[in-house]
Structure 1
Amino acid sequence: MSTHQHSYLAHDTKGDYLKRLRRIEGQARGLQRMVEEEQYCIDILTQVSAMTKALQAVSLSLLDEHLGHCVLEAARAGGPEAEEKLKEASDAIARLVRS
């Protein structure tokens, strides 16, 4: 895990991320309720798909922030941190593609 001190907070997007994550949290509670109430499997799967897409959207947005700020800044500075940031981004993309 990186000890990088900069964050997407500098881009004033924290509130947007938190709002989106709270909405996803609500979707998770809704899914639990649907299972508890033994609702129709296809309806549950539809909601799982919607929640998955919402998480993917947050992931892609965070990745874009990381590339546009952290990786770009490190690349401009050069040195070993640039290679580290590129590797981090590549690893994150690989994890997202596998998920």
Structure 2
Amino acid sequence: MQYDDDMKRRLRRVEGQVRGVLKMMEEQQNCKDVVSQLSAVRSAVDKTMALIVAVNLEHCIVEEREKGGDTSKLVQEAVELLLKSR
């Protein structure tokens, strides 16, 4: 699978958010603020995972259709992968 620039950009943004959370902790900032930022990090990671799975699923479905195969198993695997990641 090819990971495009958008996916990498998303993770670089998450990396910056995590550094920000660590700085907040070092500065002894409010627990609610730290947790709020951690929630934003989790959300960004979840969205990135969903994007990766969706792009990969699309690619796999095209390949499977070209071979004349059944794509329902691919969809089920993608859903299970997303559910497992939660």
TM-score greater than 0.5 by the shorter chain: yes
Question: Secondary structure in 2 aligned to 1:38?
Answer: coil
Counterpart-to-counterpart distance in 2, 1:47 and 1:57: 15
Q: Which residue of 1 aligns with 2:61?
A: 71
TM-score, structure 1 length as denominator? 0.70
TM-score, structure 2 length as denominator? 0.79
**Runs of at least 4 residues off by over 6 Å:** none
Q: Which residue of 2 aligns with 1:48?
A: 38
The structural deviation recorded for 1:70 is 1.7
What are structure 2's unaligned runs of at least 5 residues? Answer: none
Q: Which residue of 1 aligns with 2:80?
A: 91
What are structure 1's unaligned runs of at least 5 residues? Answer: 1-6
CA RMSD of aligned residues (A): 2.3
